[in-house]
Structure 1
Amino acid sequence: MAAVQTNPPLPAGVEKDTNSVAGGSFVGTNANGSQTVHRYDYGGNPLYQTQSYQDPDGRLPAFGGEFQPGLYKPISHRKFANPAPLGLCAFALTTFVLSLINLKTRGVTEPNIVAAVALGYGGLVQLLAGMWEMAVGNTFGATALSSYGGFWLSYAIILDPHWNIVGSDGPYSAANTGGDPLMVESALGFYLIGWFIFTTVMLLLTLRSTVMFFGLFFTLDLAFLCLASAAFANDAGAPNAATNLNKAGGVFGLLSAFLAWYNAFAGIADSSNSFFVIPVFHFPWSEKGYQARKASKANAHQD
């Protein structure tokens, strides 16, 4: 059979897979020695634009919209929708609100309003999204989304004065136990530094993914570090430094929120619902970047 030309052109002797659907593709060898282009449904998202054919096992490059930093199996058999955008949006909105308060936007300084958002959206909905990531086989997405859902649920508990975690007078008030009135600041610092460590672990797992996916965890990591440092600065009797660190945490939190929305949009947008798609910027050392360099060298040799 003559080779069928597509964009990019199929290799010589390769047959077009008539059962293909939109998405990535790879060249497979049939029993008779001929080759067929197999295509995978990539959730309808055209952001995955392959420049070279994948290995026959069908593993695809990292993609932030799937909340998966590593190579993974095709999803054409999946009976679930992609839960990552839901979890990313829940994280983004809650982080956005808290970050504005950390920046003292419009004079708002009390974080009580975050408790409602953290319980209903950032906590519950993100936890559910994490469990659905478990169902679709995405270990990274399940771990990250479920953990940050737990963060927002626990943070809402901290903000609730009825739990008396930070004192009966409200969030971040002095403990009324007769001890150090700033003791709660160090305790809050312990809490935040733990989340900084966890986020650093997640960050290290995105080093071979995309710029936008890495940027999400990088800015979030800096936000946790700044907020933890602010709590320790308060305990050390340096309120001015604590204020500046809180504002820095708010800035990084806002960046993290917008990057989460960016990745969520990347995971939802396709030709059926949007007039445009957004790039995800694969790292040069990622699998996609390696393939692009390999294709570029091949073209240079041909020229």
Structure 2
Amino acid sequence: MGGFATTLLSVSLAMMNFRGVFSQTIFMGDLCFVAGIGLLISAQWEMVRGNTFSYTVLSAYALFYGGYGVILIPALGIADAYGGYTPEYHNALGFFVLLWAVFNLFFLLASCTLNIVYILLFLTLELCLVFDAASSFVLADGLVEKSANLMTAAGAFAFVSSLLGYYSVLHYLCQDALPFNVPMGDTSRAWKRWCKKTSSPSLKTDEEMA
């Protein structure tokens, strides 16, 4: 989770054009190695521990970060294949990010059974991806200023999501090494109670019909 949060934080600063930094090329090291390879290795440990949700999330975002980093590598000529930064390129990039927003939506739904921190993390990440995709589509239409505003909004949500990622890191470090816990806002019990309440009427109806 530390690699996820660090990479997302660094990219979010560029998305918000913090201190005049707009290009994300310098962060290819984070994208391809810290997140791409690091998260993939961490995911294997989660599988060993039997934590399939974390394994799926870490593996998915390792591939996402790695793939996004590859797109930014000039030597691969991905932008050149579209004739430069043309409307077609921006539309294609928008599709790439938007489909990951759809994928992330499943993580958001699954996190409802876990804790509040994960819910907020995936919610802010979802908004980041949606605004990022919208920024690419708007830029393809030639609306540069509106695209920049959407990218800034995406960066702000990414920034919040990265901080929630760091909070998760703190939680697990304290859990393993320190004599106190950092709360995550467990929702599993509330979710189970809600499931029982929603399933009870249907069970009664089935019994009455029988």
Equivalent pairs: percent with the same residue?
28
Shift in CA distance, 101/271, structure 1 to aligned 2, threshold 3 Å = closer
1:79 aligns with none
Alpha-carbon distance in structure 2 between the residues aligned to 1:272 and 1:105:
35
1:150 aligns with 63
1:135 deviation in Å? 2.2
> Per the alignment, in what secondary structure is the counterpart of residue 190 of structure 2?
coil
Q: Which ranges of structure 2 fall in alignment gaps of 5 or more residues?
A: 196-210
| One-letter identity of the residue aligned with 2:75 | H
1:167 deviation in Å? 2.3
1:250 correspondence with 2:163: no
Q: Deviations over 1:42-92 (max 9, x none)?
A: xxxxxxxxxxxxxxxxxxxxxxxxxxxxxxxxxxxxxxxxxxxxxx10000
> Per the alignment, in what secondary structure is the counterpart of residue 113 of structure 2?
coil
Alpha-carbon distance in structure 2 between the residues aligned to 1:157 and 1:209:
33
2:7 aligns with 94
Alpha-carbon distance in structure 2 between the residues aligned to 1:239 and 1:265:
39
Counterpart of 2:183 (choices 274, 279, 290) is: 279
Alpha-carbon distance in structure 2 between the residues aligned to 1:152 and 1:267:
23
Report the structure, 1 or 2, having the larger strand content: 1
1:115 correspondence with 2:23: no
Once the two structures are overlaid, the 10-residue window that deviates more, 243-252 or 278-287, is: 278-287
Counterpart of 1:262 (choices 167, 183, 188) is: 167
State the TM-score, normalized to the length of structure 1: 0.60
2:37 aligns with 124
Alpha-carbon distance in structure 2 between the residues aligned to 1:206 and 1:222:
15
Alpha-carbon distance in structure 2 between the residues aligned to 1:109 and 1:183:
21
Alpha-carbon distance in structure 2 between the residues aligned to 1:100 and 1:120:
19
Q: Which ranges of structure 1 fall in alignment gaps of 5 or more residues?
A: 1-87, 169-174, 291-303
1:218 deviation in Å? 0.6
Higher relative contact order by CA 8 Å / sep ≥ 6: 1 or 2? 2
Alpha-carbon distance in structure 2 between the residues aligned to 1:186 and 1:289:
41
Counterpart of 2:101 (choices 196, 199, 203) is: 196
1:296 aligns with none
1:237 correspondence with 2:148: no
How do 1:54-69 residues align onto structure 2 when only pairs under 5 Å count?
A: none
- Higher Cα Rg: structure 1 or 2? 1
> Per the alignment, in what secondary structure is the counterpart of residue 200 of structure 1?
helix
1:182 aligns with 87
1:131 deviation in Å? 2.0
Q: For the Cα contact (< 8 Å) 1:282–1:289, is it kept in 2?
A: no
> Per the alignment, in what secondary structure is the counterpart of residue 280 of structure 1?
coil
Alpha-carbon distance in structure 1 between the residues aligned to 2:86 and 2:94:
15
Number of residue pairs matched by the alignment:
194
Shift in CA distance, 285/182, structure 1 to aligned 2, threshold 3 Å = same
Shift in CA distance, 132/271, structure 1 to aligned 2, threshold 3 Å = closer
State the TM-score, normalized to the length of structure 2: 0.86
1:277 deviation in Å? 3.1
RMSD: 2.1
Shift in CA distance, 119/272, structure 1 to aligned 2, threshold 3 Å = closer
Alpha-carbon distance in structure 1 between the residues aligned to 2:7 and 2:176:
29
Alpha-carbon distance in structure 2 between the residues aligned to 1:279 and 1:95:
23
> Per the alignment, in what secondary structure is the counterpart of residue 142 of structure 2?
coil
1:218 correspondence with 2:123: yes
> Per the alignment, in what secondary structure is the counterpart of residue 269 of structure 1?
helix
1:288 deviation in Å? 8.9
Shift in CA distance, 155/269, structure 1 to aligned 2, threshold 3 Å = same
Report the structure, 1 or 2, having the larger helix content: 2
Alpha-carbon distance in structure 2 between the residues aligned to 1:273 and 1:279:
13
Shift in CA distance, 238/271, structure 1 to aligned 2, threshold 3 Å = closer
| One-letter identity of the residue aligned with 1:255 | V
Q: Deviations over 1:182-207 (max 9, x none)?
A: 21000000100111011001111111
